[in-house]
Structure 1
Amino acid sequence: MGLWRWRKRGPKASRRYPVPLTVHQLWMVSLSAPVSRDRGASRTTLYPFTRVDDDSARRWLADQWEITSREQLVGRLDDLSRSGYRARAYRLTGVSPLAWDAALYVDIARRGFACGLIGESDAWTALKNIVPAVAGTYGSWREYADHYLLGRQVWRDGLRGTEDARFPAPQAVADEYLRSLLDPANRASPWNLAPWDTISHPDRTR
């Protein structure tokens, strides 16, 4: 008889955070949608998972970003907002893909909130801080997606020859996922639930 490890699933995150996001909040959370490909990821809540799993957020920040404290989290967010990976991308391509850094920025902020490194109000403040730059750079989710993919490609190319080269999913996987987010027929896509121009109009409840 084979052995297997059973892990208790946490309660639904919607039970801990039952108040739905406003359309502006959903738009801000949706900046990280390209990064949220995992089956258990939530794309419509500030909490990054569909079920409560604070430990996963903590492990991911430590393993992928070497973030284990509030100070490290704030420092990483500051770096991504100021220059991030787009500085290297600009040197190589002549294009500065803010979308790649913005997606990572929002993803890190959400996970930092999930594991308690920052509170909910601080997480929303962090997300609001990136909005002017993103909204002023792009005119649609498609433009945002194109720059995200460019930034991801430059990042993947930079991993060649290192022990992390096999870590990221193939570019084709990211391409297909972005196509699904942009598909007008995809009712589950947060980009359809919060169209790009949402952030330019008065906020409202959903």
Structure 2
Amino acid sequence: MAIWKWGKPKVESKYPTPLTMHQLWMVSLSAPVSRDKDASRTTLYPFTRIDDGKARTWLAEQWEITAPEQLLGRLSGLASTGYRAMAQRRLGIAPLAWDIALYVDISRRGYACGMLSEADTWARLKNVVPTVAGTYSSWQEYADHYLLGRKVWRDSLQGTRDADFPAPQAASDAHLKALLDPANRTSPWSLAPWEAISHPDRPGPARRG
């Protein structure tokens, strides 16, 4: 099978070793955000094809991140308070999942464009595991809080120039439904069940995109 298309190699050509179960679980925390067709949900690298420039452009345009110190600042903010502080004030509920999904997504893109090393990226993902695993008991609970956090974020954009920026809620709902579908064997949440992070690590399943 050819590894080149449009001049960019497949992610497996650069990162051929499948993730362990714990690694896949951590990467899967960003699965709700990864709706694009070129998103890789089973590798630390965020795309199915190597495109470091795309990661750099996305961070600059979506988060105004152009330097490592800005990336670290964003990650620190999402880990400590994030959007859940606003949700707590408005609803009395702090949906951690929304902030964590963004945290892992930004970390992976920071890794892709060289702002984080592989070791530092894994370390940052591991840092949030105890809080996430202690807050939720299933991917369903995680998904529910992700959608709640997304709704608060969308509502906060009303009346601003970014009001039309978010994808329709229906798109996010459909994506989460597919991730949670037990019959969807390509879903990372099927490949790495929630309880896997509470058991000893082991080799992960074969990569499926």
Letter in 2 for 1:160: Q
Pick from 183, 190, 193 the counterpart of residue 191 of structure 2: 193
- Aligned partner (choices 143, 147, 166) of residue 149 of structure 1: 147
**Match in the other structure for 2:168:** 170
Matched, 1:133 2:139: no
* Structure 1 segments (4+ residues) deviating >2 Å: none
SS in 1 for 2:50: coil
Pairwise mapping of residues 1-206 of structure 1 onto structure 2 (< 5 A)?
8-206=6-204
CA distance, structure 2, for counterparts of residue 8 and residue 70 of structure 1 = 29
AA at the equivalent of 2:118: E
Which residue identity lines up with residue 128 of structure 1 in the other structure? K
Partner Cα distance (1:164, 1:14) in 2: 36
Structure 2, unpaired ranges of 5+ = 205-209
CA displacement, residues 79-118 of structure 1 (integer Å, 9 cap, x when unaligned): 0000000000011111100000000000000000000001
In the aligned structure 2, how far is the partner of 1:31 from the partner of 1:13? 19
Report the alpha carbon displacement of residue 153 of structure 1 after superposing the two structures with TM. Answer: 0.3
Paired AA for residue 117 in structure 2: G
Gaps of at least 5 residues in structure 1 are 1-6
Percent identity between the aligned chains? 69
SS at match of 1:162: coil
TM (norm. structure 2) is 0.94
TM-aligned CA deviation for residue 162 of structure 1? 1.1
Provide the rounded CA distance (Å) in 1 between the counterparts of 2:7 and 2:110.
20
Measured after TM superposition, the shift of residue 8 of structure 1 is 3.1
- d(CA) in 1 for partners of 2:95, 2:183: 27
